[in-house]
Amino acid sequence: MRTRFTEAFGVEHPVVQGGMMWVGRAELVAAVADAGALGFITALTQPTPEDLVREIARCREMTDKPFGINLTILPSITPPPYAEYRAAIIESGVKIVETAGSNPVDHLPFFKDAGIKVIHKCTSVRHALKAERVGVDAVSIDGFECAGHPGEDDVPGLVLIPAATRKLRIPVIASGGIADSRGLVAALALGADGVNMGTRFMCTVESPVAQRVKEQIVANSELDTKLIFRTLRNTARVAANAVSTEVVEIESRGAEFADIAHLVAGARGRTVFEEGDIDAGIWTSGQSQGLIDDIPTVAELVDRMISEAEEIITGRLNGIVAAKAGVRA
């Protein structure tokens, strides 16, 4: 499958593994790269910029294929040293960056000067257009189904992606709710140049999260997510569990962040991923978990997505058009 995305970014398949806090580590990203897709190491999972440099080197030891770095820029009272992480990325010689969280305009000139291509991930057509205007090379657009931060507009991918592709000139990666070949074909039909997946890649053999978490994703249906931080206008879609249920309940009574801070601490979420205690804290997962019923290797996942997508296009869809032509004849 060749699209404007595969051509511009030099990857074999139009499939991306987006940044994932605690999950986007070298093991997963190298496996994604080897499978011919584009994976992103998550910069802020590394405690310091120096650790990020070491993680990039570790990934290079595992694969000779291209991969990128996700830099998530979220509002924070004590922001991480973004400029130092950015410098670490540039000095490491990585050539693709995924920005997310807020407008990447402050970082873009530095990446551009270093010859780095930037995919900006956002959740609305207006933010995608703004990113195009400031000069990013592609946008990833997350529909309401997605894991993590879907924004506050609540527009699902079936509307959001074509609303975006009819206005944007740069390549568009459809994100959120995609877990298999059907999602890939649908996204291409909506005008996208590729797909981005988080939850699906988290549930693979090489993903560095506890087996218990992967089994829970398989067990969960599309109904088993919660939207937390709605009342704070910083919505996040996470797996339904005892903690996210309690957060939503406290929010419904009119809470401030201080009232839920102890429940949503990042360290608790990390415990879920590392120890497999699925009720230890908040952990991110999307509605696409309802489409996930196995734990394949990354290569198995990517290979079957591509081969089944080709079958859908040349078989089922082609058959529908041929049948229509037959009726006419």
Ligand X SMILES: Cc1cc2nc3c(=O)[nH]c(=O)nc-3n(C[C@H](O)[C@H](O)[C@H](O)COP(=O)(O)O)c2cc1C
> Helices in 3-48 by DSSP H: which ranges?
4-9, 26-34
Question: Does 19 sit near ligand X (CB under 6 A)?
Answer: yes
* Residue 69 bridge partners (DSSP): 41, 97
Question: DSSP string spanning 265-302?
Answer: -HHHHHHHHHH--TTSS--B--GGGGG------HHHHH
Question: Does 178 sit near ligand X (CB under 6 A)?
Answer: yes
Selected binder of ligand X within 6, 11, 13, 23 (CB under 6 A): 23
Q: Which residue has the tokens 């922001």?
A: 79
Residue nearest to ligand X (CB): 198
Count of residues touching ligand X (by CB under 6 A) = 29
Q: Which part of the chain contacts ligand X (CB under 6 A), choosing from 13-21, 108-116, 220-228, 299-307?
A: 13-21
Question: Does 285 sit near ligand X (CB under 6 A)?
Answer: yes
Selected binder of ligand X within 14, 18, 171, 281 (CB under 6 A): 18
Nearest to ligand X of 40, 90 (CB atom): 40
Residues 94, 85: Cα–Cα separation, whole Å = 12
Nearest to ligand X of 30, 100 (CB atom): 100
Selected binder of ligand X within 92, 286, 302, 305 (CB under 6 A): 286
Q: Give least dist CB 149 to ligand X, A.
A: 7
* Residue 148 bridge partners (DSSP): 237
From residue 35 to residue 74, the character string flagging contacts with ligand X as x (rule: CB under 6 A) and all else as - is -------x---------------------------x-x--
Q: Which part of the chain contacts ligand X (CB under 6 A), choosing from 19-27, 127-135, 159-167, 240-248?
A: 19-27
Question: Does 194 sit near ligand X (CB under 6 A)?
Answer: no
129: which 2 tokens?
């257009």
Question: Does 196 sit near ligand X (CB under 6 A)?
Answer: yes
Are 197 and 302 a contacting pair, CB within 8 Å?
A: no
**What value, to the nearest 5°, has the Cα angle with vertex 165 and ends 160 and 170?**
130
User: Which of 202, 220, 199, 198 lies closest to 211, judged by CA?
Assistant: 202
Nearest to ligand X of 72, 216 (CB atom): 72
Residues 227, 230: Cα–Cα separation, whole Å = 7
- Max Cα distance, the chain (Å): 69
Query: Applying CB under 6 A, which residues contact ligand X?
Result: 18-21, 23, 42, 70, 72, 100, 121, 142, 145-148, 175-178, 196-200, 202, 284-286, 288
